[in-house]
Structure 1
Amino acid sequence: MKCDVCKSKDAVILQPHTGRRLCKDCFIDDIRNRVKKEAEKEGLTKANKILLAVSGGKDSLTLADTLASFIDPKKLISFNIVEGIGGYNRSDQAKKLKKYLDDLGIELISTSFKKEVGFTLDDMVRSSHDKGLNISACTFCGGFRRKLINAAGREVKADLVATGHNLDDEAQTIVINLLRGDIKRLIRLGEIPVKLSDKFVLRVKPLRKIYEWETTMYAYYKGFEFQEVECPYISMKPTLRAKVRDLLYSLESKKPGSLLTIVEEFDKISEEYKRNSELKDLPKCKICGEPTSYGRDVCKNCELLIKSGLLNHQYLPMS
């Protein structure tokens, strides 16, 4: 069967949400064009310097490759964090990541939780477990990754920070925050980023309209060797995100395009809310000085370290 776009090459892939059958080249062009469209909305094409948060997985490799196809690679700086997970953060993957980025002409800078925070992710999880706390590894990891990525963006004077979050990630985040009733966090999502602190570098997600299976196939067709092993902490203790993911995948299988509809309709609601709301600057943590949530003196990251017995401080964490 021939490709529905070029009409000449054999189709190799079906897009369930569009019903189109595409050849390899037209599929790659489709992904790049959709990423470019989102990047233009987010202001990436006008930025002088962009920090790319990369892990070496399929999403971050797809992010770097697609952006480099229409943005001067000299404007891109990639940033990698080694979380410190036994048997998961492998040196061979780090070397492959550096080679891919070198080939694209993108500079890579790296750091680790151990260097910046003083503890590996394994250290944090172990200490919290010893204290009898029910804190997931993802809670530690997500918070500290965001903090270090933002700090790196400030350090290199980036106009924007781009992450490899895909459509699946974005739809899951929307549903999770709805379930939690976290309206203040919800309004910070959407196509147009909101800056609520002078210490924040605006964070954008150029892949937020690209399905995860599409980033997988893009990486495969480009010949990338990426880490396919899931983080061991996911299987050890399934999170709310994992449960929401399964629910959304079930919905998508029954009605292709559902995830895209969730994100696009949310964007409309989010932008309308932002236009009619006055968003105040976030307060700063009294311990680390980084932005924290409204009504908090201590940020979630510092609170986690205090509760886990890894940080002693006069300020008590707020509940």
Structure 2
Amino acid sequence: MKCSLCGVRDAEIYQAHKGRSLCRYCFIEDIRDRVKREIERLGLSRASKIVLAVSGGKDSYVLADTLASFIDHDKLVAYNIIEGISGYNRVEQVIQFKNFLNELGIELIEDSFEKSVGFTLDQMVANSKKRNLNVSACTFCGGFRRKLINTAGLKLNGDYVATGHNLDDEVQAIMLNVIRGDLIRLIRFGDKPIKLSSRFVLRVKPLRRIYEWETTMYAYYKGYKFQEVECPYIELKPTLRAKVRELLYALEEKRPGTLLQILDTFDIIAERVRSGSSFKDELPRCKICGDPTSYGREICKNCELLINSGLLNYQNFPMS
């Protein structure tokens, strides 16, 4: 069977959501074109600096490669965080990814939890367990990664921070927040980035309309050697996200294109909710670190986690 686009080369991959078969070359160009359309829709083509939040996984490779294919490399800078997970954060993986970025002409800024927070993730988790806190490693990791990524965006004068979240990630997050009834977080997942504080750098997701299997095949066809070792903190018991993921994949298999339809529908709903809602101009600032925190809170969740874990001593504060 010949490629549905070029009609010359043999097809190697089938896009069920579009009902077409592509050769690897047309497939790669299709992914780049879709990312480019998303970038242009968001207005990133006019940005003077875009900070790429990367981890060294397949999505990070695809994010950097696709953006570098049509954006001036001088406008791109990558930022990577070493969380401090024994047996997982490997130096050779960082070196390999740094070499890849060098070939693209993109600078890599390296950081770590230990350097910028004062503790490794392992230390945070160990201390929380000593105090019998029911806090997962993912709670620590996600919160502090978001904090450091935003701080890096501010320091680097970034107009945007671009993350490698793909379509699967995005739709799973949407469904989770629907289940939890988190309206504010839901609205922030819309297709038009918003920020509730001058201390936030706008976050965008150029891969939000690209399936995870597509980023995997893109990385495979390009020959990238990315981080494949699973984080040791991944819970063995089925999480809510895992259950949502399983359901969504079953729906996608039965009706290809379901994930894209969910995303498109949600974007329309989110825009309508935004237009009919009034939000305060600025989120309050944490009294400890100064970062934005949720309405009604005096300290942010990250500082609260460190206090409760015994890693941050902040006496005489009226904890609620």
CA contact 1:167–1:260 (8 Å) conserved in 2: yes
CA offset at residue 250 of structure 1? 2.0
Task: Give matches, 1:12-31, under 5 Å.
Answer: 12-31=12-31
Residue 232 of structure 1 aligns to a residue in which SS? Answer: coil
| 1:248 match | 248
Structure 2: gaps spanning 5 or more residues: none
Q: Which residue of 2 aligns with 1:297?
A: 298
Number of the residue aligned with 1:198: 198
Deviation at 1:43, TM superposition (A): 1.7
Secondary structure (helix, strand or coil) at the match of 1:74 reads: helix
**Structure 1 segments unaligned to the other structure (5+ residues):** none
Deviation at 1:119, TM superposition (A): 0.8
Aligned to 1:263: 263
Separation in 1, partners of 2:283, 2:239: 27
CA RMSD in angstroms, aligned pairs only: 1.1
Distance in structure 2 (CA, Å) of the matches to 1:36 and 1:279: 31
Cα distance change of structure 1 residues 301 and 50 upon mapping to structure 2, 3 Å threshold: same
The DSSP-based 3-state class of the residue aligned with 2:234 is helix
The normalised TM-score by structure 1 is 0.97
| Rounded Cα–Cα distance in structure 2 between residues aligned with 1:261 and 1:131 | 45
Task: Tell me which residue corresponds to 1:2.
Answer: 2
Please give the residue correspondences for 1:67-146 in structure 2 after superposition, counting only pairs within 5 Å. 67-146=67-146
Match of 1:209, SS state, is: coil
Distance 1:90 1:238, change over 3 A: farther
Q: Does 1:185 align with 2:185?
A: yes
SS of residue paired to 1:187: helix
> Could you tell me how far 1:242 is from its partner in structure 2?
2.4
3-state SS of paired residue (2:233): helix
Q: What residue is the counterpart of 1:311 in the other structure? A: 312
User: Offset at 1:263?
Assistant: 1.0
Shift of 1:306: 1.3
Please state how far the C-alpha of 1:67 moved relative to its aligned partner. 0.3
Q: Following TM superposition, by how much is the alpha carbon of 1:300 offset from its aligned partner in structure 2, in angstroms?
A: 0.8
1:316 Cα offset (Å): 4.6
Aligned residue in 2 for 1:217: 217
Taking the aligned partners of 1:312 and 1:98, their CA distance within structure 2 comes to 37
2:33 is aligned to 33
Query: 1:306, 1:317 within 8 Å by CA — same for their partners in 2?
Result: no
Q: TM-score, normalised by structure 2?
A: 0.97
Which amino acid in 1 is paired with 2:131? K
What residue in structure 2 maps to residue 273 of structure 1? Answer: 273
AA at the equivalent of 1:182: D
Displacement of 1:203 in angstroms is 0.4
Q: Against the structure 1 CA distance between its residues 237 and 85, is the aligned structure 2 distance closer, same or farther, given a 3 Å change threshold? A: farther
- Displacement of 1:42 in angstroms is 1.6
Tell me the distance in 2 between the aligned counterparts of 1:100 and 1:254. 38
1:148 matched residue in structure 2: 148
Bigger Cα displacement from structure 2, 101-110 vs 258-267: 258-267
Contact 1:62/1:218 (8 A) holds in 2 = yes
C-alpha contact (below 8 Å) 1:41/1:192 kept by paired residues:
no
Q: How far apart are 1:247 and its partner, in Å?
A: 2.1
* Residues 3, 11 of structure 1: 8 Å contact kept: yes
2: CA distance between counterparts of 1:225 and 1:55? 13
Q: Give, as a single letter, the amino acid of the residue that structure 2 aligns with 1:111.
A: D
Q: Specify the code of the residue in structure 1 equivalent to 2:10.
A: D
Separation in 1 of the partners of 2:236 and 2:127? Answer: 16
